[in-house]
């Protein structure tokens, strides 16, 4: 779903987005060896029978510094809080506010230049799902809507820049960023259905901050 994706005349060259440390999203895989303490976001898209899927997870390489672990924990928690808001009758802004409030309360920069999105027959569809906003604003959520909620959160400033390759987005201050993404479906009369899963990852990663809420991948949406 990613390889060959076009934005204007830019064509993404890889199957995965692999974003290391200060790279927020859209990192192009390379041959540079990973190092102990790195953060590595892997964003994966698929297409099956004409429908798209999209998910992302930030991995620790070996032992990471406590401030990096905290960034991951808060970003993951923000994802869960955003998902909780994806119920009929609420609005996109309720998701946005839930994500923004927890991240900024911890002093982190919530990226404004990049947002979540609808998904279905195309990888990126309306509505946009920002990680910042006001409660009670934006499109009203209805059963059947399929959304990608994906907090992109920086340890420092929210500001980002794009490399000369036209894809790699990184923090302007060089500090690390974390990114988690689930694809969800809004359902009538209940919590959203989480259509992607982190279970396969969290079965083999035993070190915090990664075993935070495995229950989420089985349809529960309360944050713990």
Q: Check if the beta carbon of residue 24 is closer than 8 Å to that of residue 114.
A: yes
- 213 vs 86, more confident: 86
107: left (phi over 0), alpha (psi -120 to 50) or beta: left
CA distances from 119 to 74, 123, 179 (A): 25, 5, 18
C-alpha span between 108 and 74 (Å, rounded): 9
pLDDT tens-digit readout, 99-145: 999 999 999 999 999 999 999 999 999 999 999 999 999 999 999 99
C-alpha span between 47 and 2 (Å, rounded): 9
pLDDT tens-digit readout, 49-67: 999 999 999 999 999 999 9
Domain range list for the chain: 6-216
Q: What is the pTM (predicted TM-score) of this model?
A: 0.91
Would you give the DSSP letter of residue 89? T
Closest CA to 45 of 24, 83, 15: 15
| CATH fold of 6-216 | Creatine Amidinohydrolase (3.90.230)
Q: b/e per residue, 208-217, with b = 16+ CB within 10 A?
A: ebbebbeebb
What mean pLDDT value characterizes the chain? Answer: 92
Closest CA to 152 of 142, 160, 162, 163: 160
């Amino acid at each position: 779903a990613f390889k060959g994706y076009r934005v204007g005349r830019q064509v993404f060259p890889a199957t995965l987005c692999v974003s290391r440390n200060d790279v927020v999203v859209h990192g192009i895989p390379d041959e540079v060896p990973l190092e102990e303490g790195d953060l590595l976001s892997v964003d994966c898209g698929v297409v099956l029978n004409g429908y798209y899927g999209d998910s992302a997870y930030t991995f620790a390489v070996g032992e990471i510094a406590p401030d990096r672990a905290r960034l991951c924990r808060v970003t993951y928690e923000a994802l869960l809080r955003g998902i909780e808001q994806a119920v009929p009758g609420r609005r996109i802004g309720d998701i946005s506010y839930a994500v923004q409030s927890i991240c900024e309360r911890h002093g982190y920069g919530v990226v404004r230049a990049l947002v979540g999105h609808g998904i279905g027959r195309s990888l990126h569809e309306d509505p946009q799902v920002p990680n910042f906003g006001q409660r009670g604003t934006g499109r009203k959520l209805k059963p059947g809507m399929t959304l990608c909620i994906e907090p992109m959160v920086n340890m420092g400033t929210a500001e980002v820049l794009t490399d000369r390759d036209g894809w790699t987005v990184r923090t302007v201050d060089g500090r690390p960023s974390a990114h988690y993404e689930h694809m969800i479906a809004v359902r009538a009369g209940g919590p959203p259905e989480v259509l992607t899963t982190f279970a396969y990852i969290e079965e083999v990663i035993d070190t915090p901050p990664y075993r935070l809420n495995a229950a989420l991948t089985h349809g529960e949406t309360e944050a713990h």
